[in-house]
Amino acid sequence: MYGNMKPNLIEWDFEQFEPDYIVINLGTNDYSYCQDNIERSMAYQHQYSAFIKEVRQRNPKAKIICALGIMGGDVLFQYMEAAVMDYQSVSGDDNITTYRLMFRANLMAMVLIIIHQL
């Protein structure tokens, strides 16, 4: 809560701003939960795919970059990548890509590299 405001109760108007790019960098904290547990990792994959679908529904024209960082990336990247492939196979959406962060890099440099690849 910020002052008297409750951010989770503020209705966001997705039509007021349409991003060109969306970078999703989720999963670092999920690593400690999933670790080597296949059931949990598969649940992560399924929920990630569902999340991508929701992001796309609200942002139909944006390029989506799904990134995963250096903490837990070795384990969860394959599940994140599979989630993106699952989503793509159902939707046919080719305006989405994955990016594996191998070291702490300048985020802007990473985004510029990915944009060039798209």
Q: Residue 48: what pLDDT? A: 95
> Which is higher by pLDDT, 91 or 8?
91
CB atoms within 10 A of CB 45: 21
Given pLDDT bands bounded at 50, 70 and 90, which one contains residue 12? confident
**Which sequence spans correspond to the domains of the chain?**
19-117
The predicted-structure confidence for 29-88, as pLDDT tens digits, reads as follows 888 888 888 999 999 999 999 999 999 999 999 999 999 876 656 778 899 999 999 999
**Which residues share a beta bridge with 9?**
none
> Which range (8-22, 29-43, 57-71, 98-112) has the least confidence?
98-112
113/13 Cα distance (integer angstroms): 30
Q: Does the structure show a pLDDT above 70 at 107?
A: no
Amino acid at 45: Q
Among candidate residues 117, 87, 89, the one with its CA nearest the CA of residue 99? 117
Q: Residue 30: what pLDDT? A: 83
Architecture label for domain 19-117: 3-Layer(aba) Sandwich (3.40)
Among candidate residues 63, 30, 62, 59, the one with its CA nearest the CA of residue 47? 30
The whole-model pTM stands at: 0.77
**Which residues share a beta bridge with 2?**
5
